[in-house]
Amino acid sequence: MDVTGRKVMPTVRLRRLASELRNARLAAGLKIEEVVRQTGLDQSSIYRIERALNKPQRRTVMTLLDLYGVTGEKRESFLGWLKDSNQQGWFRAYEPYLPEQYQSYIAFEYEAESSRTYESMFIPGLLQTEDYARALVRGVLPTIDSDAVERRVEARMRRQSVLSRPTPMQLKALVDEAAIRRVVGGPEIMRAQIRHLARVMEQPNIHLQVVPFEAGAHPGMPGSFILLDFADPSDVPLIYTDSMAGDAFLETPGEYKHFEELFDQVAVKALSLADTKKFIKEAA
């Protein structure tokens, strides 16, 4: 929560601020208990600030920086991250229609430099046509009303702007053949979707490979996942997983290494780029 009580949407800047505050505390040789004793701040608040669960007030950051001995340009960097953490993207307008974790994912995706994704059942959201997205939302969420469906579809289409911005996102997508074969919305909608894949594959920043049925069992079968990397090395990479049990973010070095290796293992099972293009054209 922020000082107004409104739920804080995680941003890349807020995560960077949280990470660097923790690093500054450790560099000063202080445990959280010592920070509590010397500042009077609540222990749970410091924990939540360092996990980017709370957006701190400016005076709180100033107090921590004083204690950690952070001065000069480095201090200004901290205050700049705090100020920039207020910036929210276009997705804020869709808050009533989207799950909280999905909103957070969109915020991170919006600032990511590259994305590696494995999808077992769906065409990746960044590569979906509007009709396919609409049919998919209606099929997966049959009880939501038409307005909510349209707002979700609008949000998904706007997400795709990351692929055409001045410095476009680099997308590497591994898609199971099941996602290509499943007819979502009827033959015409699915045919248009597959033709769309054939077109976007010509873009240099989009790298798509199909994992064919003939590959048999492979490491990606337990579920879909996305790895996001950022241009600034200070920004910790993220893993986003989506399952029936709910969405989750993972960001420890061990978790990142595991999913990076998993992506590479699935890629070995996939068709080459040339064979994928041939497969897509034949499927259309």
pLDDT at 13 over 90: no
Confidence of residue 235 (pLDDT cuts 50, 70, 90): confident
> What pTM does this model have?
0.79
Q: What is the mean pLDDT of the chain?
A: 90
CATH of 95-283, one of 3.30.420, 3.30.870, 3.30.1490, 1.10.3470: 3.30.870
Q: Which residues of 19-57 are buried (b: 16+ CB within 10 A; e: fewer)?
A: bbbbebbeeeebeeeebbeeeebeeeebebbbebebbbe
- When pLDDT is cut at 50, 70 and 90, the band that residue 191 belongs to is very high
pLDDT level of residue 219 (50, 70, 90 thresholds) = very high
Query: Which pLDDT belongs to residue 245?
Result: 66
Helices and strands per DSSP (H, E), number in the chain = 12, 6
Q: What is the pLDDT of residue 10?
A: 63
Look up the CATH superfamily of 12-84. lambda repressor-like DNA-binding domains (1.10.260.40)
Phi and psi at residue 4, to the nearest 5°: -85, -5
Q: Is the pLDDT at 200 greater than 90, yes or no?
A: yes
**Which position has the higher pLDDT, 242 or 39?**
39
Tell me the average pLDDT across 23-39: 92
The pLDDT of residue 31 is: 92
Given a cut of 90, is residue 145 above it in pLDDT?
yes
The pLDDT score that the predictor gives to residue 144 is: 94
Backbone phi and psi for residue 116, each to the nearest 5 degrees, phi listed first:
-120, 125
Mean pLDDT of 76-98: 79
Q: Which pLDDT score, from 0 to 100, does residue 3 have?
A: 42
Portions of the chain given CATH number 1.10.260.40:
12-84
List where CATH 3.30.870 sits in the chain.
95-283
pLDDT > 80? residue 91: no
CB 64 within 8 A of CB 40: no
pLDDT surpasses 90 at 167: yes
